[in-house]
Amino acid sequence: MSSIELKPTDKRLKGEISVPGDKSISHRSVIFSALAQGTSVITNFLTGEDCLRTVEAFRLMGVNIEQEGNKITVHGKGISHLREPSQPINFGNSGTTARLMSGVLAGLPLFTTAFGDESLSKRPMDRVIQPLRVMGAEIRGREDDSLLPLAFRGKNLEGTRHELTVKSAQVKSALLLAGMLAEGETEVIELGETRNHTEMLLPEFGVDVEVEGRSIKIKGGQKPFASDIKVPGDISSAAFFLVAASIVPDSELIIRDVGLNPTRDGIVRALKEMGANIEVHVHTHIGSEPVGDIVVRHSRLKGMTLEGDLIPNVIDEIPILALAATQAEGKTIIKDAEELRYKETDRIEAVVETLTTLGADVQAKEDGMVIQGGSPLKGGSVDSFGDHRIGMMGAIASLICEGEVIVKNKDCINISYPSFFTDLNQVLN
């Protein structure tokens, strides 16, 4: 098990930084390009382990995909040229790969098996499998077809109207991809707003998607064509630096070329509500996705209540927001976030254990946590639990701890941010 020892520091964060490409958009760009006819070039692709699982899945299905640094070239031949894999597909730790690929595999005339690592094998898949079955999918798996490994016997699917029972962009995206392969029209009614990269990005590949309120419709039989995509910086990765600069005295940092999708910018809204000194400057668009620079300076934070419709927008950033809350004045309440229990680990328990070990006053609730602010963090040995976002939270916490912080099992950070420690050291002065 790898670990890193982080000594106390009086350094501040200064300068400029660019974070790796957006994880959600990187996954989707590869999927759409591999289904398309023609050659697509994806630049600033996130070369973390999760996204490379999606690349490898399509290589096993006969798609020629070249990688040169963070540039990916996908030589798509269209949906009809995908072939049956000769071996099981390894989804690794990637929930996005597992759920989105389920929508694809269910609608192809192929037999496919897929598995994941120990963590992914515990994460619920029935939320995707059950609505896909309504469309005619034949999928089998462990524990009443709810867990990986899974076997897909691809079928001709029928377009269906789905009313989602969970707030999940992954489930929505899986159903839209299945709908693109199905006969007739598929409509997905969201329970609440979730990240909308799928419906924003598909039109770049020539696929029509109709969005009206919480209803998203897609007609089956559409054939995507190749498109070049430049992936913006991942705001979920930027979140660690936004919080770091907010809580480390005398810090001032510029984060360049970050994706500012309105369904993903909840971290900025939440930190501003806590009193953070943040400026956002949109300077371009990639497709329909706004992209810009974020300027953040150290400030005194105050507690807040994080709940309701904002939760799906910040679900991946809650661990680092919890760290910010330990340094805020007053109490922070996070609720309506039970989905955290079904991530790479039970993130509610992982956040509470990590921050408590470091000296914070945090209590777990069934759907969130309560954090008493103003806690001086002392340091200690913490485990990432194999969760990249918990590992990075522990590393950022070390910047304000009185003693040494040891982060165990740090290699999981490579899932989303392989250059995290290099980038962090670059801006510490």
**Tens digit of pLDDT for each residue in 173-207?**
999 999 999 999 999 999 989 999 999 999 999 99
pLDDT computed for residue 204 by the predictor: 96
**Structure pTM?**
0.94
pLDDT at residue number 296: 98
Q: Distance of CA 427 to CAs 17, 241, 405, Å?
A: 7, 10, 19
DSSP 3-state assignment of 309? coil
Q: Is the pLDDT of residue 396 over 70?
A: yes
What's the confidence (pLDDT) of residue 343? Answer: 87
90 and 18 Cβ atoms separated by less than 8 Å: no
Q: Which residue has the tokens 């810009």?
A: 292
Select from 152, 145, 151 the least CA-distant residue to 124: 145
pLDDT band (50, 70, 90) for residue 307:
very high
As a whole number, mean pLDDT of residues 83-105 equals: 97
pLDDT at 18 over 90: yes
3-20+232-427 and 23-230 agree in CATH topology: yes
The burial of 195, by beta-carbon neighbours within 10 Å (0-12 exposed, 13-18 middle, 19 or more buried), is given as: buried
Q: What pLDDT sits at residue 294? A: 98
Q: Span 105-130, mean pLDDT?
A: 96
Q: Is 316 a catalytic residue?
A: yes
Please give the CATH topology (third level) of the domain spanning 23-230. Answer: UDP-n-acetylglucosamine1-carboxyvinyl-transferase; Chain (3.65.10)
Q: What pLDDT was estimated at residue 342?
A: 87
Residue 153 labeled ligand binder? no
Residue with tokens 């630049």: 43
CATH of 3-20+232-427, one of 3.50.50.60, 3.40.50.170, 1.10.1740.10, 3.65.10.10: 3.65.10.10
- The tokens describing 277, both together, are 């000194």
Q: Is 71 labelled as part of a ligand binding site?
A: no
Residue 361 in marked binding region: no
Write out the DSSP string of 43-111. Answer: ES---SHHHHHHHHHHHHTT-EEEEETTEEEEEEE-GGG----SS-EE-TT-HHHHHHHHHHHHTSSSE
Of 317, 240, 327, which is closest to residue 275 (Cα–Cα)?
327
The response to whether 133 counts as a known ligand-binding position is no
Q: What is the per-residue pLDDT for 194?
A: 92
State yes or no: 264 annotated in a binding site. Answer: no
Residues 119-147 have pLDDT tens digits of 999 999 999 999 999 999 999 999 999 99
Structure-derived torsion over alpha carbons of residues 324, 8, 6, 376, reported in degrees to the nearest 10: -30
42 token code pair = 């994806």
Q: Is 59 annotated as a binding residue?
A: no
Confidence at residue 348, expressed as pLDDT on a 0 to 100 scale: 97
CA-based Rg of the chain, rounded to a whole angstrom? 21
The active-site residue, picked from 22, 50, 293, 316, is: 316
102 belongs to an annotated ligand binding site: no
- Could you tell me what percent of the chain has a pLDDT over 70? 100
pLDDT band at 1 (very low <50, low <70, confident <90, very high): low
> Is 95 part of any known ligand binding site?
yes
Q: What is the pLDDT of residue 154?
A: 97
- The residue ranges of every structural domain in the chain are 3-20+232-427, 23-230
Question: Tens digits of per-residue pLDDT, 331-388?
Answer: 999 999 999 998 889 999 999 999 999 999 999 999 999 999 998 999 999 999 999 9
CB atoms within 10 A of CB 27: 26
24 is in an annotated binding site: yes
Beta bridge partners of 38: 76
Angle at 171 between CA 71 and CA 96, to 5 degrees: 30
* Contact status, residue 108 vs residue 31, Cβ threshold 8 Å: no
State the DSSP H helix or E strand holding residue 333, giving kind and residue range, or none if neither. strand 331-334
Q: Are strands 14-18 and 64-68 parallel, antiparallel or unpaired?
A: unpaired
Residue 343 marked as a ligand binder: yes
pLDDT score of 303: 98
Q: Within 10 A of 118 (CB to CB), how many other CB atoms are there?
A: 8
- Residues 24-43 have a mean pLDDT of 98
Q: How far apart are CA 383 and CA 354, in angstroms?
A: 7
220-229 average pLDDT score: 97
**Strand pairing class (14-18; 252-259):** parallel
Would you place residue 311 in the very low, low, confident or very high pLDDT band (cuts 50, 70, 90)?
very high
- Examine the pLDDT at 64 and tell me if it is beyond 80: yes
Spatial CA neighbour of 67 closest among 78, 56, 82, 83? 56
pLDDT score for 375? 85
Backbone angles phi, psi at 270, to 5 degrees: -65, -45
Question: Positive or negative CA dihedral for 205, 237, 120, 270?
Answer: negative
